[in-house]
Amino acid sequence: MNNAVNYFKARQWAFSFIETHGLEADAADLLLCDQMGWSEAQLLMHFRDPMPVEEWQQYQTNVQKFVDGWPAQYLTGKAFFYGLQLKVTKDTLIPRPETEELVDWILADYDKQPIKLLDVGTGTGAIGLALKSERPNWDVTLSDISTDALAVAQQNATALNESVKFVQSDLLNEVDGKYDVIVSNPPYIAEDERKYMDRSVLEYEPELALFAPHHGLAIYQRIAVECTSYLKPHARMYFEIGFHQGQAVKQIFEKQFPEANVEVRQDINHHDRMVRVKL
């Protein structure tokens, strides 16, 4: 293709190239609109315009990276979660649709009453910011062991104009106060599960946010032991879990809190995905 390509022809090339590699061709529009700062309607308006050479070269580079396994969200620098646009970087996991169901569960349990909530291992801030956007009167704190991830969460909070607190902490070590709700989507993948994972996740998403010792259960075990002094009376904890970890995580919290009601809930795909600990 020569340098006199227009946006329509560039898009056609990208669709064909991506489909040839067995991937979702919708990424062609996503990458092009993001690169140009356009909506899909604006892209249609510019279809027949000549594409500057440097833009065409950049687009080819991004499409090639996508085919090579780069997640589209890392190429665009953003992801969407619970109706919010969030910045994502290589220091944060890409928020997953399944995690929105964890947000739904908390919102269903707590209507409009003000509560104090801690999002442990917040990453992009997805869970805590989604909850704050739906319940502006909640007192929300976001924590993460990674200063780089916490910086991304801070940028997202600023962009969304959400007033939340931040603390850099290895789980609960540096956290102050007591909470009505602690929520976490922690690292929960066991090392021996690498062989089942998508190459793009293994190569590009941060290992610190993916893997945990003790068959992926280490973070739940630590939180169960360390959380007591951070919980108000009748507090609740909510966790995302691996699809095969439901009973193991349930037993961890039942052992630590014999009087608690511990419930495992499935996601829309009928996989165990969430646990609620109700004290």
Residue 20 assigned to a binding site: no
Residue 186 assigned to a binding site: yes
Rounded Cα–Cα distance for residues 72 and 66 (Å):
6
119 membership: H or E segment, kind and range: strand 116-120
Residue 230 assigned to a binding site: no
Closest CA to 232 of 185, 172, 196, 279: 279
Which residue type does 233 have? P
Radius of gyration of the chain from its Cα atoms, rounded to whole angstroms: 21
Rounded Cα–Cα distance for residues 13 and 4 (Å):
14
Residue 85 Cα to chain centre, angstroms: 11
- Could you tell me the CA-to-CA distances from 130 to 162, 227, 273 in Å, in that order? 10, 23, 18
DSSP type of residue 52: P
Residue 50 assigned to a binding site: no
Residue 188 assigned to a binding site: yes
**Per residue in 130-162, is it b (16+ CB within 10 Å) or e — as a string?**
bbbbebeebbbbbbbbbeebbbbbeebbeebeb
Residue 121 assigned to a binding site: yes
Known binding-site positions for substrate: 185-188
Known binding-site positions for S-adenosyl-L-methionine: 121-125, 144, 185
Known binding-site positions: 121-125, 144, 185-188
